[in-house]
Structure 1
């Protein structure tokens, strides 16, 4: 007997997402963007921190209000569970297909906002940790990896460009979320009430619906499909394999851990700067960069972060992933080491330009790594391997801000002027990028003993 549950399960089944003849592969990037533009809201979550520190005091923090230090853990927990969900959900995603994973992501991410709205209403911070941090973080992880393998298999001729288009949405999601969140809080606020709970509720519903649209649109390619007129190149680059490595075997290779270190170091350097960009610009150029100008600087960095994801990932299709990452690290070393000099000379223009390029390479690293994994390990398990690799993001999400914040505070406590408090940090970041460059240079093709001898049947 056909039940409603069985019908819903059928719609979510991977077999129901196989594209019919005439389906355009260019419909898949918009489906991915529906997910990534929503979960990219994570980069704008900081707009809630100050209002949530005044829920009782309204105009100023009251003794019973939450502290910013406690609120800062909401984002950190979410990034931590992003990595955990991506690591453990990758294999499941390969089995069930992108639609079911997208729907699960929508439920977790949208549901995380709704649970957090309850936490704000009851003024219980642990509920928000559970809602946006744990549940929302799981939604972030599943949503981040869900379209990756699908895009790579639809675009075997341009895998970097394909993943760049989607992951660009994660970098650009804050552009939608930040002004929308501010508008909604203003709309629901009264002289006696800050409208954070209502804003969370609306965002949870809106994001859930929008992410479901992506799940409806997404399709996987029929078996044996290839782009019209395209055949695999006869002569492959040494770093591009035509074989596949099983997920369990990939973790046994030195290449996986080299790439783990490469991603971790690239993200550590960028995310530390991204989290302190506003304060850093004002402290390095006191009196010249106002709070409003600093906010504009953060917005500009977001543009570089977003566009860098598409530009660098697309460029990697032509110059190779290893070369692209070599540029990230070599150029990054020079730019990080030169940042203190821009402060000493008072050049705001060069300061902004250098950080814009740095953030473009930060975003580019995220967008290029799935294609790098595909080149090294093959396409069969790239989604699951990518999920495991994203644990590097979780580590970097803690390491980067800690390095920037604590070293800055140590410098200030030691009597160093705020304008010079970031000098040592920038040199440390440059040193981390040197290590990343060496790890990338050590990359070699995976030993043939790890290649799968037979292909498993498609579920």
Structure 2
């Protein structure tokens, strides 16, 4: 499938909605928890077992983004969005069959493995194209799209909940809900497939510098540079810190204020989770747009430095003030979302736009690592503290100190980022011709 080239007069502002249609769909992954209790009840699963589809999906997201990034660059955004549509929707259809036949392995395989491939390919599908359309504002452009992944759960969570109420929470009701998800997302994602366009000659129609001017580094060369691995550490540390709160948000705020005169109710804890999702989404567009003004390195200084300060305030004073706890948590989650949205523009600054989608895909293995590391730190320490007889905010003190340390490591890695050495650059077209002429003359 050849990349569709924009006709004369095509507005570049039609590309972000195309990207959003995909990211809002695959962002449903963050709403998987809605299906956990019904699945546990209908199929007799434990909490660990019911989490398997989501965990496998995130692992496959990182792996498919890493291994499929070069194919996305080669075949273009329409091919990538089509693959994402087929895999993500098929994952739901396979999961529907699994629920209908009460074969849980089919749900894990469908939603986790097949759907996870759709997550990874869909996540990186618009990145390179957006950067080529918006070389003047790459942070804002990628922020708009990646905001959709953070906000997808805000749509999917109440929608899925209502479907389970309407169809029932038994295995047949879950099967119908999965079926409706698969068909609806196929239609919605097809809007992006039909709407997406690449700039003529891989150059944007907007005024400003060419997307292919300046430094250009291939994906193969990028992974050999210290800059790539510094950014890998930066992203991993930032995501680990954010997901440490996100994964355990509701029980965390309940535990923090359990021993106070104003404990947090279940409904209030759910409201806190919704606030965190909104902060995650707002940070993706707000902070990434800010990075266009103050620079990528400076915005990551904010994410990592101020994020460590927020964790310190929660660790030492969080249980004495609900507003302080909530504000600090919201700031941390906005940095979590902002870090995801800003990293493609940071990669473009360092390596150019030549294969930025493939480079971004390889970097997302940091997300897979952080997705395991963050929850493991918080849950393992909390379990051991509870076994030792501690309760309330003391369950999380040590894990918060570890998060501060990880953010400090990320801060140092960000400071070590320097321009990529010229030996890693690919020659510009004119330079390549000059080299060939010199070789012919010799």
The TM-score with structure 2 as length reference comes to 0.94
Measured in 2, the distance between the counterparts of 1:343 and 1:177 equals 31
What residue in structure 2 maps to residue 46 of structure 1?
33
Match of 1:298 among 273, 281, 284: 273
Q: Which residue, out of 376, 398, 407, partners 2:381?
A: 407
Aligned to 1:59: none
Q: Provide the residue aligned with 2:175 in structure 1.
A: 197
In structure 1, C-alpha distance between the alignment counterparts of 2:88 and 2:331, rounded to whole Å: 31
- Alignment match, 1:31: 18
* Matched residue count: 428
CA shift, 1:208, in A, is: 1.1
Q: 1:381 to 1:250 in 2, by over 3 A?
A: same
Q: Decide whether the 8 Å contact of 1:82 with 1:394 is kept in 2.
A: yes
Deviations 1:144-184 (A, max 9, x none): 00000000000011000000000000000001100000011
- Partner of residue 328, structure 1: 303
Change (3 A) 1:298 1:140: same
Q: Structure 1, residues 188-207: CA drift from partner, whole Å, max 9, x if none?
A: 017x7662111001001101
Q: What is the CA–CA distance in structure 1 between the aligned matches of 2:343 and 2:213, rounded to whole Å?
A: 15
CA distance in 1, matches of 2:115, 2:303: 31
Correspondence 1:21 to 2:4: no
Change in Cα spacing, 1:247 to 1:228, as seen in structure 2 (3 Å) is: closer
Q: Partner residue of 1:387? A: 361
State the distance in 2 between where 1:241 and 1:348 align.
50
Query: How far did residue 417 of structure 1 move?
Result: 1.4
1:134 matched residue in structure 2: 113
Alpha-carbon spacing, 1:115–1:437, altered in 2? closer, same or farther (3 Å):
same
User: Quick one: distance in 1 between partners of 2:264 and 2:221?
Assistant: 51
Does the 8 A contact of 1:259 with 1:440 survive in 2? yes
User: Structure 1 runs of 4+ off > 4 angstroms?
Assistant: 454-457
- Shift in CA distance, 380/185, structure 1 to aligned 2, threshold 3 Å: same
Tell me the residue number matched to 1:94. 73
- Where does residue 285 of structure 1 map in the other structure? 257
What CA RMSD, in Å, does the superposition of the two structures yield over aligned residues? 1.8
Within 2, Cα distance between the matches of 1:269 and 1:374? 24
SS of the aligned residue for 1:446 comes to coil
Give 3-state SS (helix, strand or coil) of 1:339's partner.
Answer: helix
Aligned to 1:255: 227
Output aligned runs, 1:142-181, within 5 Å.
142-181=121-160
- The CA distance in 2 between the partners of 1:443 and 1:21, in whole Å, is 39
| Contact residue 90 and residue 385 of structure 1 kept, 8 A | yes
Q: Find the aligned partners of 1:375 and 1:32 in 2 and give their Cα distance.
A: 21
Which of residues 76, 87, 90 in structure 1 aligns to 2:55?
Answer: 76
Question: Residue in 2 aligned with 1:314?
Answer: 289
State how far apart, in whole Å, the 1-side matches of 2:314 and 2:333 are: 13
What are the Cα deviations for residues 289-331 of structure 1, in whole angstroms up to 9, with x where unaligned? 1010000000000000000000110000011101100111100
**Partners of 1:175 and 1:327 in 2: how far apart?**
26
What SS class does the counterpart of residue 434 from structure 1 fall into?
helix
Structure 2 stretches lacking a partner, 5+ long: 433-442
Contact 1:329–1:436 (8 Å) recurs in 2: yes
Work out the CA distance in 2 between the residues paired with 1:83 and 1:380.
21
Mapped to 2, the partners of 1:272 and 1:332 lie a distance apart of 12
Return the TM-score normalized by structure 1: 0.91
CA distance in 1, matches of 2:147, 2:343: 13
Partners of 2:57 and 2:202 lie apart in 1 by 38
Q: Look up the SS of the partner of 2:417 in the other structure.
A: coil
Cα–Cα, structure 1 residues 31 and 437, in superposed 2: closer, same or farther, change >3 Å? same
The counterpart of 1:123, out of the listed 102, 117, 123, is 102
- Cα distance in 1 for partners of 2:312, 2:172 equals 43
Give the Å deviation of 1:454. Answer: 4.3
**Distance across 2 between alignment mates of 1:176 and 1:356:** 20
Q: Is the 8 A contact 1:185 1:194 kept in 2?
A: no
Unaligned runs of at least 5 residues, structure 1: 1-11, 57-64, 234-239
Summarize the alignment of residues 301-380 of structure 1 with structure 2, pairs less than 5 Å apart: 301-345=276-320, 347-380=321-354
What SS is found at the alignment partner of 2:287?
helix
Q: Deviations over 1:117-141 (max 9, x none)?
A: 1111222221111111100100000
- Residue 210 (1) aligns with residue 188 (2): yes
Query: Partners in 2 of 1:39 and 1:253 — Cα distance?
Result: 31
Classify 1:194/1:424 alpha carbon distance in 2 versus 1 (closer, same or farther; 3 Å): farther
